[in-house]
Amino acid sequence: MKKNKMFIIIIAVIFGTALICSLPIWGKPRGNAVNIRSGGELICTIDLSEAEDCEFDIKWGGGVNTIEIKDHMIHVKEADCPDGICIKTGWIGGENGTAPIVCLPNRLVIEPADDTSDGRTR
């Protein structure tokens, strides 16, 4: 009987420790920020929850992508790349998922940011 009580106590301590250690992960709010990279360099990090509606161009190697932020979401509105896949990818933010937007010809990547981002907030 004494072994059963010790076993239950050990299991309870392990479970309690695991629960306490995981609380910071559960309570961590999911960010709504994106990193914009061009030519492999981080251009900026934008917090979509605070961003105002706007449009801006990103130029690289003769190519231009027009980025639009609207209703706390972001997408590539126009691009002079030959295939236009970046335009067809859709929006990031809100309930639209977090798949990155990539324009290979213009070397543009818009991706969800993590907490270790070293970019500038726009």
The pLDDT tens digits of the residues spanning 8-19 come to 777 767 766 666
Strands (E), 8-114: 33-38, 41-47, 54-60, 63-70, 73-79, 101-103, 108-112
pLDDT tens, 50-96?
Answer: 999 999 999 988 889 999 999 999 999 999 999 999 999 989 987 76
> Helix, strand, or coil here: 80?
coil
pTM over 0.85: no
Domain range summary for the chain, segments of one domain joined by +: 33-112
- Helix then strand count (H, E) for the chain reads 2, 7
CATH code linked to domain 33-112: 2.60.320.10
Show Cβ contacts of residue 98 under 8 Å, excluding neighbours closer than 6 positions: 92, 112
